[in-house]
Each structure stands twice: as structure tokens, then as C-alpha cells.
């Protein structure tokens, strides 16, 4: 199904309805979406719309009503697939190198139901997600990782997965920052 400004508005409304009751999660998602809106000018229209929609939806799987597996990238992707947005479902399923946590949770086969997009859009979604704090503030990847390790504890599966993913997400963020520089997109203001 194609995306346009109207569908983005509907997606934003759905995300708000499902995530606003979760407090900080909605603060984070709003800030990720604002960051995506700021940088989407570095992409063609279709890719920019997919980035913005994925930013609104990347954590939708945390909504209790959508819980199927307990792994938010998959739960969100299953929901998005029911809406007819297969590319968005794949972007959400694999956002921020979800493959590492899926492996640790024994969910690799389920994650494999969604095509892993290796693209500037996927990189940019990782950039927007992992340079935004849970409260919606801009942070470095190092600050974000430290916050995750403290919040979950060093031995938690989320922390283990992020530790494994760090080299890959670091490269995705660097590629996005380079893309933004080359396209003249100014750094965001705090």
C-alpha cells in the first residue's frame, strides 16, 4: 500500500492512541518521528515517507494489545502487516539491528518472515531511534547504550543484544550522518 501525507497522519494517530498510555515510550517515539521529519529531506519522497512512518511505528509493538511474541519489533511488524504496509512491517521488524535480540530470544525464524531491508532508510531509522533518549532528548549512541545498560542491567538480554549490535548500529549512524552532510541537512537543534 502506498504512503502519502494522509496515511502518515493516520499512522501518527494510531501510534499516539496505542503508545501514549505508556508514558515515556510515547515521548521517545514522538522525538524519533520529529528527527525523521527533520532528515527525510535527504531522501526521495517515497523513502522519506517510509522513514517517517517507520519512526512513528518502530515501537508500536510495546502496546499491550498487540503483544503476540513479547518481542516488540515482531509484534509491531505483525500489526503493521495487517494494515497492508509490508515494507513498513519489515523496517519495524528489523529496526536497530533487532536480529541480535531475536537470536537471543530464539525468534530468528519468526523475524525471518520479514525481509531485512539494507538501505539508507533502514540506517536512518536506526540513527533516529538510537540517538534519541527514552525521554525524547537527542543523545549520542554512547549515551544511549549506557542508558540501556543501566536501565536493564548488564546481563539482561536487551543489554546483551545491544552490545552485540553496537558495531553495526554505529556504522548505520555514521552512514546516515554522512548522507545528511552530503545533502546539506543541518544538524538538529536540541
47 domain-assigned: yes
Whether 50 contacts 121, CB under 8 Å: yes
100-121: average pLDDT: 98
Q: For the chain, what is the domain count?
A: 1
Residue 58 lies in a domain: yes
What confidence category does residue 189 fall into, taking pLDDT thresholds of 50, 70 and 90? low
Tell me whether residue 189 is in a domain: no
Q: For residue 91, is it within any domain?
A: yes
Give the mean model confidence (pLDDT) for residues 141-161.
96
Assign 186 a pLDDT band (cuts: 50, 70, 90).
confident
Asked, for residue 188, whether it belongs to a domain, the answer is no
Cα–Cα distance, 65 to 184 (Å, whole number): 41
d(CA 21, CA 30): 13
Provide the domain limits for residue 66: 5-182
pLDDT score of 152 more than 80: yes
> For residue 127, is it within any domain?
yes
Q: Please, what is the average pLDDT of the chain? A: 96
- The structure's pTM equals 0.96
Q: Write the DSSP symbol of residue 153.
A: -
Whether residue 190 is contained in a domain is answered as no
Residue 134 maps to a domain: yes
Residue closest to 125 by CA, chosen among 53, 188, 41, 66: 53
Mean pLDDT of 52-68: 98
| C-alpha distances in Å from residue 115, one per residue of 38, 47, 125, 151, 165 | 26, 16, 16, 30, 18
- pLDDT per residue over 69-80, tens digit each? 999 999 999 999
Kindly state the average pLDDT of the residues 121-128. Answer: 98
pLDDT at res. 116? 97
Amino acid at each position: 500500500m502506498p504512503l502519502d501525507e494522509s496515511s502518515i497522519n493516520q499512522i501518527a494517530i494510531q501510534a499516539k492512541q496505542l503508545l501514549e498510555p505508556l508514558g515515556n515510550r510515547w515521548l521517545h517515539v514522538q522525538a524519533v518521528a520529529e528527527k525523521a521529519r527533520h532528515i527525510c529531506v535527504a531522501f526521495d519522497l517515497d523513502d522519506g515517507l517510509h522513514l517517517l512512518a517507520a519512526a512513528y511505528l518502530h515501537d508500536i509493538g510495546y502496546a499491550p494489545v498487540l503483544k503476540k511474541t513479547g518481542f516488540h519489533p515482531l509484534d509491531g511488524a505483525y500489526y503493521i502487516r495487517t494494515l497492508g504496509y509490508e515494507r513498513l512491517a519489515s523496517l519495524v521488524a528489523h529496526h536497530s539491528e533487532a536480529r541480535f535480540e531475536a537470536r537471543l530470544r530464539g525468534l530468528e525464524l519468526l523475524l525471518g518472515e520479514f525481509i531485512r531491508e539494507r538501505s539508507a532508510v533502514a540506517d536512518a531509522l536506526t540513527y533516529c531511534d538510537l540517538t534519541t533518549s527514552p525521554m525524547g532528548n537527542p543523545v549520542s549512541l554512547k549515551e544511549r547504550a549506557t542508558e540501556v545498560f543501566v536501565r536493564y542491567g548488564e546481563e539482561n538480554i536487551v543489554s546483551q543484544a545491544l552490545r552485540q549490535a553496537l558495531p553495526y548500529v554505529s556504522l548505520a549512524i555514521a552512514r546516515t550522518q554522512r548522507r545528511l552532510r552530503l545533502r546539506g541537512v543541518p544538524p538538529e537543534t536540541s
